[in-house]
């Protein structure tokens, strides 16, 4: 028997209905903030994906690489940011800010494990052409709105700034060439913990500097408070000062969106990809059983120039669709049917088939998802199918019903029956269709 | 500068809005007929795709082949039918009929040419588990409905049956092993014309048999009439007879759907893929400048068994999304804006930014796609952006407006202005949002 390739999955209707609910919600919120859709190919030139500084460096070994039959070197995209940056580079005519969203699959040849797949979906918004932190904030706000609309109540936004991190490196006087290694170690904080991070850092730089750095990084407290303290400690360094001022502005302006109390400053936040240049952020949701980062992003002002475009500031955020799905599933947050079909028009007698089809067509015409028998089954078999397919409503079509023009509708979940004429059915049920 | 790999394209928002319109319409119609969504990985095991009889044989050279880092042989999917058949084979628990739709990209390493791409989208419905031609007919009906909903008025359904074709081969006494070659030649009829088809056939089989075969194939006229004539000519052959009876039943039952007059019997229709076993069909649209096949499909009763499943009859149809897009574009059938953004909340004075954001948030909350400045631009620059981004409505936010709680709205297309309070704006404009 053929299986899906390792690390990939099929999504049967019962799962797809939930995934569609997520993606539709995401799309609506993205569009409500004025983001327009963009689509790019599934694969890109290998040189684009593997370019140093594009984020490709650290996940180069995870890219699905192949050659086409003309020996072109290609790779499946590993995120949606790199293709978008290419699009902007080759399309300088696009009005700025260019606000685009993209929802789609990406591939990484990672070791498959619980909740990690080799093919997975991301949903991104990016604002290109805006240098102001208002753009960064808007990206955060959009994603918070997505989470609210999906039903999450508790979430937090962790915020840092690559400028602050770079400033710390300068301030503590760590050689600049060490900073990628230092960031890589800091990035593992959640995974390996304080103690091991300290140990690893000490293998790279001298102990005193490690202690100094960790003191700067470990400051905790209310955003305004720790930003003020950090400014006192670091403000003499220009890079750090600018970064801290940006963070202050974000915290301040978050108030108008009503999300200021969800923001935490976390100087240990690094985010792996090396293309970030300014504010970086990560959103976590807190539920009964789960706490975890579900979205993250940041500013990457140099990426578009790296691909041959004009220097163009940009910022964006990416939602991990698989993570959201798993949490919503674990928390039983989905309230969705197992099929999109709403009605089954049951033909009591095969010779009335035409009548059943005509009624089905009327329901379909007003947008009510409807099935009718296509297998010449008798009434009992049709009902068995309705039950196994979990179709919620049945309308019975027999001689009597056609004569009286009144039809029995059975709610298959609670067994209730009602008698109605077709016009009433259309009116009542077209309003019941779940937003689709 | 990096380009998209040969044969692939980016879709900028202006194109994506049109493509989304097509795909959304398709999705709604598919769901209204009780089809549920399914999703499968972008790549499959090479052995599955290349399996003889799966359709892979004839397009084997067009499959994007690659190995993953564990040396697994993989290939990008070339259609949506083969993956779906695999899903059904490994999931025998699915209720039958299993009615699923799938909309997504597929890849073929074809020679790129006008309207042919290496990455393209298909939209499929299939009914699995139903042997009756009612299922074939429903697939045709669904696709006709899609075309109507997209705005096409003239279309025709060409219908044939692999059984009839096989019966003809037997009847004319052409060696069975020649039939793939014969079908391959017949399949080129539209491309190379009558004369060349005849010539090529004569290089395979003797002249008299070619003439006999072509007489059977070239019968034209009203469906009922030619089916009757063909039955007289061929009915002594069982395979042909069963096929002709199925066609007759489809033509008869099409009446209740009101599409009988769109159906043409075309015995020259072959459809390339070798997995078809029964009725086959192709839908063409006729417009001022274009005539062309936009959808096609047929019955493939043995495919699921081929992949190790139980023998399960199945039928389906596939819409060529690129073809539809091109025709609709050429015929100027799209009536869509260039951006999904509806409103730009223009901040007259930077210090009123908070107020502008609050108003934008209100519009977004009721689902109206809204932008506001994120670049600290002055009024003139904001208006320039609105014009270049083709945003249809602007709402001006200044001291005066905030005081009076009345806001000027400018229609950027015709220059008209109206003054309204926020509640009225929300009420009026939330109704104007194009179905999204």
The domain spanning residue B400 has which CATH number? 3.40.50.800
Tokens of A342: 């709403």
- Indicate if the alpha-carbon torsion angle A341, A344, A350, A351 is positive or negative: negative
Are B243 and B364 in a shared domain? Answer: no
Per-residue pLDDT tens digits for A44-100: 999 999 988 777 777 888 999 999 888 999 999 999 999 999 999 999 999 999 999
Say how far apart CA B345 and CA B357 lie, in whole Å.
8
Gap from A242 CA to chain B (nearest CA, Å): 18
ipTM attached to this prediction: 0.95
Give the number of other CB atoms < 10 A from CB of residue B419.
12
Helix axes B223-234, B207-217, angle to 10 degrees: 150
Q: Looking at the structure, do residues B22 and B92 belong to the same domain, yes or no?
A: yes
Name which of B39, B67, B388 is nearest A10 (Cβ-Cβ): B39
Give the C-alpha separation, A148 to A160, whole Å.
23
Q: Does residue B258 sit in the same domain as residue B363?
A: no
Q: Domain residues for B424?
A: 343-430
The tokens for A390 are: 């979990």
Last residue of a domain, one of A299, A330, A361: A330
User: Tokens for B65?
Assistant: 């082949």
CA dihedral B418, B421, B426, B432 (to 10 degrees): -10
Q: In Å, how far is B14's CA from the nearest CA of chain A?
A: 9
In a domain, B53, yes or no: yes
Q: Are residues A325 and A349 in the same domain?
A: no
Q: Compute the distance between CA of residue A196 and CA of residue A154 in angstroms, rounded to an integer.
A: 30
Are residue A178 and residue A109 in the same domain, yes or no?
yes
User: Model-level pTM?
Assistant: 0.96
Last residue of a domain, one of A305, A330, A355: A330
C-alpha–C-alpha distance, residues A395 and A391, integer Å: 11
Among A38, A39, A143, the residue to mutate for chain B (most B Cβ within 10 A): A39
- Integer Cα distance of B320 and A171 in angstroms: 60
Q: Give Cα B101 to chain centroid, integer Å.
A: 11
**Among B4, B16, B31, whose Cβ lies nearest the Cβ of A38?**
B16
Considering the domain boundaries, does residue B21 fall inside one?
yes
Q: CA–CA separation, A311 vs A328, rounded Å?
A: 40
CB A315 within 8 A of CB A331: no
B11 DSSP assignment: B
Which letter does DSSP use for residue B300 in this model? -
DSSP code of residue B65: E
Same domain, B166 and B305: yes
Q: How many structural domains compose chain A? A: 2
What DSSP element (H or E) covers B121?
strand B119-128
Which residues face A410 on adjacent strands? A394, A417
Whether residue A3 lies inside any domain: the answer is no
Same domain, A283 and A411: no
Residues 6 or more apart whose Cβ sits within 8 Å of residue A119: A7, A8, A9, A105, A106, A107, B41, B42
User: Is the CB of residue B396 less than 8 Å from the CB of residue B408?
Assistant: yes
**A133-150 vs A238-253: helix crossing angle, rounded to 10:** 40
**What's the burial of A327, exposed, middle or buried (CB within 10 Å: 0-12/13-18/19+)?**
buried
CA atoms within a 13 Å half-sphere pointing along the CA-CB vector of A157: 30
* Cβ neighbours, 10 Å, residue B278: 22
Residues in a beta bridge with A420: A407
Closest residue in B to A127 (Cα–Cα)? B374
CB-CB under 8 Å, A340 with B100: no
CA distances, A265 to each of A153, A197, A244, A268, B362 (Å): 20, 20, 10, 9, 28
Task: Please indicate, yes or no, if residue B1 is contained in any of the structural domains.
Answer: no
Domain membership flag for residue A336: no
The neighbouring-strand residues paired with B318 are B124, B296
* Chain position carrying tokens 């069975």: B176
Please give the mean pLDDT across all residues of chain A.
94
Q: Are residues B163 and B284 in the same domain?
A: yes
- Which residues in chain B have their CB less than 8 angstroms from residue A134's CB? 373-376
Domain assignment present for A181: yes
Chain A CB contacts of B89 below 8 Å: 1-2
Place of tokens 């890849």: B107
Determine the Cα–Cα distance for residues B126 and B316; give it in Å rounded to an integer. Answer: 4
Kindly state the tokens that stand for A123.
């949903």
Residue-level pLDDT at B434: 61
Tell me the CB-side half-sphere exposure of residue B164, using CA atoms within 13 A: 28
- Give chain A's residues under pLDDT 70: 434-436
Which residue in chain A is spatially nearest to B120 when comparing CA positions? A41
Nearest residue to A257 (alpha-carbon basis) of B359, B288, B181: B359
CA distance B366 to chain A (A): 9
CATH number at residue A105: 3.30.930.10
Of A330, A351, A374, the position where a domain reaches its end is A330
A317, A124 Cβ separation under 8 angstroms: yes
Contact at CB, A89 and B2, closer than 8 angstroms: yes
Tokens standing for A23?
């993606």
| Cα separations in angstroms, B198 against B75, B172, B175, B181, B211 | 37, 15, 17, 13, 8
A162-200 pLDDT, tens digit each: 999 999 999 999 998 998 889 989 988 888 888 999 999
Cβ contacts of B109 on chain A, cutoff 8 Å: 68-69
CB contact under 8 A, B127 and A374: yes
Answer yes or no: do B201 and B125 share one domain: yes
Dihedral sign from CA coordinates of A194, A198, A199, A203: positive
What is the SS3 string spanning chain A? CCCCCCCCCCECHHHHHHHHHHHHHHHHHHHHCCCEECECCCEEEHHHHCCCCCCHHHHHHHCCEEECCCCCEEEECCCCHHHHHHHHHHCCCCCCCEEEEEEEEEECCCCCECCECCEEEEEEEEEECCCCHHHHHHHHHHHHHHHHHHCCCCEEEEEEEHHHHHHHHHHHCCCHHHHHHHHHHHCCHHHHHHHHHHHHHHHHCCHHHHHHHHHHHCCCCCHHHHHHHHHHHHCCCHHHHHHHHHHHHHHHHHHHHCCHHHEEECCCCCCCCCCCCCEEEEEEEECCCCEEEEEEEEECCCHHHHCCCCCCCEEEEEEEHHHHHHHHHHCCCCCCCCCCCCEEEEECCHHHHHHHHHHHHHHHHCCCCEEECCCCCCHHHHHHHHHHCCCCEEEEECHHHHHHCCEEEEECCCCCEEEECHHHHHHHHHCCCCCC
Per-residue confidence (pLDDT) for residue B436, from 0 to 100: 47
Q: Name the β-bridge partners of B113.
A: B116
Using CA coordinates, name the residue in chain B closest to A149.
B365
Residues B107 and B56 in one domain: yes
Distance from CA of A401 to the nearest CA of B (A): 19
Tens place of pLDDT per residue across chain B (436 aa):
899 999 999 999 999 999 999 999 999 999 999 999 999 999 999 999 998 877 777 788 899 999 988 899 999 999 999 999 999 999 999 999 999 999 999 999 987 777 789 999 999 999 999 999 999 999 999 999 999 999 999 999 999 999 999 999 999 999 989 988 899 899 888 888 889 999 999 999 999 999 999 999 998 889 999 999 999 999 999 999 999 999 999 999 999 999 999 999 999 999 987 789 999 999 999 988 777 899 999 999 999 999 999 999 999 999 999 999 999 999 999 999 999 999 999 999 999 999 999 999 999 999 999 999 999 999 999 999 999 999 999 999 999 999 999 999 999 999 999 999 999 999 999 888 764 4
Residue A308 domain-assigned (yes or no)? yes
Tens digit of each residue's pLDDT (9 = 90 or more) over A253-284: 999 999 999 999 999 999 987 789 999 999 99
- Specify whether A163 is located in the same domain as A197: yes
Contacts of B130 in chain A (CB under 8 A): 374-375
Residue A280, domain member (yes or no):
yes
- Token digits of residue A248: 């202050």
State both tokens at A433.
Answer: 């269709």
Asked whether A245 and A164 are in contact (CB, 8 A), the reply is: no
Could you tell me if B264 and B399 lie in one domain? Answer: no
H or E element at residue B125: strand B119-128
Q: What is the DSSP letter of B264?
A: E
**SS3 assignment, position B343:** strand
């Amino acid at each position: 028997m053929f299986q899906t390739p390792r690390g990939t999955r099929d999504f049967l209707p019962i799962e797809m209905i939930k995934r569609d609910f997520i993606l539709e919600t995401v799309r609506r919120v993205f569009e409500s903030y004025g983001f327009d859709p963009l689509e790019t190919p599934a694969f890109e030139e290998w040189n684009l994906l593997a370019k140093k500084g594009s984020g490709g460096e650290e996940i180069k070994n995870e890219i699905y690489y192949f050659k086409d039959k003309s020996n072109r070197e290609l790779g499946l995209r590993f995120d949606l940011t790199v293709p978008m940056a290419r699009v902007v580079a080759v399309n300088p005519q696009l009005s700025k800010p260019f606000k685009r969203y993209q929802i789609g699959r990406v591939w990484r040849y990672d070791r498959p494990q619980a909740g990690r797949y080799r093919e997975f979906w991301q949903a991104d918004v990016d604002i290109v052409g805006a240098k102001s932190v208002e753009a960064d904030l808007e990206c955060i706000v959009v994603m918070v709105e997505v989470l609210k609309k999906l039903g999450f109540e508790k979430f937090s936004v962790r915020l840092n700034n690559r400028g602050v991190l770079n400033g710390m490196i300068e301030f503590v006087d760590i050689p600049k060439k060490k900073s990628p290694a230092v960031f890589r170690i800091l990035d593992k904080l959640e995974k390996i913990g304080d103690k091991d991070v300290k140990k690893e850092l000490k293998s790279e730089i001298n102990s005193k500097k490690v202690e100094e750095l960790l003191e700067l990084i470990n400051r905790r407290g209310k955003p305004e408070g720790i930003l003020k303290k950090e400014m006192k400690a670091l403000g003499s360094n220009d890079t750090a000062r600018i970064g801290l001022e940006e963070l202050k502005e974000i915290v301040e302006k978050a108030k108008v969106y009503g999300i200021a109390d969800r923001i935490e400053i976390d100087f240990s936040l690094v985010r792996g990809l090396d293309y970030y240049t300014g504010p970086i952020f990560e959103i976590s949701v807190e539920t009964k059983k789960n706490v975890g980062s579900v979205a993250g992003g940041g500013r990457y002002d140099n990426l578009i120039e790296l691909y041959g475009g004009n220097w163009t500031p940009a910022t964006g955020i990416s939602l991990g669709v698989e993570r959201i799905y798993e949490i919503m599933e674990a928390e039983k947050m989905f309230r969705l049917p197992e099929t999109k079909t709403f009605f089954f028009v049951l033909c009591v007698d095969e010779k009335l088939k035409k009548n059943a089809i005509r009624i089905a067509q009327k329901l379909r015409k007003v947008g009510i998802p409807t099935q009718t028998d296509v297998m010449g089954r008798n009434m009992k078999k049709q009902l068995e199918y309705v039950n196994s397919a979990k179709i919620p409503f049945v309308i019975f079509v027999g001689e009597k019903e056609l004569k009286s023009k009144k039809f029995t509708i059975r709610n298959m979940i609670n067994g209730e029956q009602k008698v109605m004429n077709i016009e009433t059915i259309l009116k009542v049920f077209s309003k019941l269709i779940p937003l689709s």
